[in-house]
Amino acid sequence: MSPAELTQYLSGLIEHRIQLATMLWGPPGVGKSSIVAQTARRYGIGFIDVRLSQLAPTDLRGLPVPLDGVSRWYPPEFLPREGEGILFLDELNMAPPTMQGMAQQLILDRKVGSYELPEGWFVWAAGNRKEDRAAVFDMPAPLANRFIHLEVTPDFDSFKAYGLQAGIDERILAFLAFRPALLHQMDAKSPAWPSPRSWEMASHLLKAGLDIAPVVGEAAAAELAAYEQVYGMLPELSGILEGRLSPPFPEEPSARYALTMGLAFRAENARQALNAFRWMVEVAPSEWVQLLVCDLYRRLKVQGLGEFALLVREEPRLQAYLAEYRELVLG
């Protein structure tokens, strides 16, 4: 499933209080851990990230302390005592079999030793697959049979929706719209390769004027650098957003992606969004208008779509366009 579909599925588990242990599978850098953390924040619940591969069995079960002639196990402080949240066992299958066996009781019985997980907590885990060149151990069949197994794969639409909200550099989003195969491309010969995680890191470097090859690799960085030259040939975006310029729509697909993404990213309010929408309707094929409005919708829904909807109502042609493509554009 895509990251967006995974987010929806995990939200369903929380909303319906389905406290079945859940295992997320996927390649490195696809966003498994981030999606779980974002889900916890969305619902205002706790989030504890435990890396079992870094623990010894006694770190999870606790230490024995003599009390009245009997050993009592005192659990570690990182396990929750109250409230509700997600106990996330990240990199579960990187832990050796002894640790996976210790975790099995926590996953199955919601307790380990004398410790019992509070009622309001979910137990979720994540891991990489052997084909991802990850140093993992086989998961014992009895443990695997206790999980809901969800596999997440890289998906550009999900990454773009996240990037528009998170402020990932528009050049990266436009480039990946043009070259979606480079969203996630593992390279066995290099420690740096493109993934959703490394592209977000690259965004910070790019905004600071630093080389991004150390995080996405030389080949991807070179392609992005070539793509950046397209921006020098674009019409003045501010003039379109302000409604004072109406240049022709570019012919080259790379320039079309750059222009469409640039308008969606730079529209700071409903009026600028309307001007971009109006111009695209006048000069661009319908598929590019739909792409723009989808991205504008993702940006504007944070601020509220009310003002944009009111402005569109004042222009029958734009209103008719949205009515015709409402399901495709707004989803």
**Residue 10 near residue 39 (C-beta atoms within 8 A):** yes
The mean pLDDT value of the chain amounts to 84
pLDDT tens-digit map of 20-70? 999 999 888 888 888 999 999 999 999 999 888 777 776 776 666 777 777
Burial class (CB in 10 A: 0-12, 13-18, 19+), 325: middle
- pLDDT bin (cut points 50, 70, 90) of residue 198 is very high
Q: How far are the Cα atoms of 115, 288, 314 from residue 264, in angstroms, in the given order?
A: 51, 12, 21
What string of DSSP letters covers 285-301?
A: -HHHHHHHHHHHHHHHH
pTM exceeds 0.75 for this model: no
- What pLDDT is attached to residue 325? 61
Q: How far are the Cα atoms of 175, 178, 191, 230 from residue 254, in angstroms, in the given order?
A: 8, 6, 29, 7
What tokens does 4 get?
């967006």
How many of the other CB atoms lie within 10 Å of CB of 189?
Answer: 6
Percent with pLDDT over 70 in the chain = 91
pLDDT tens-digit map of 141-187? 777 888 899 999 999 988 988 888 888 998 899 899 888 889 998 87
pLDDT tens-digit map of 84-125? 999 998 888 887 777 877 788 888 888 887 788 899 999 999
Longest dimension (CA), the chain: 86
What tokens does 258 get?
């750059």
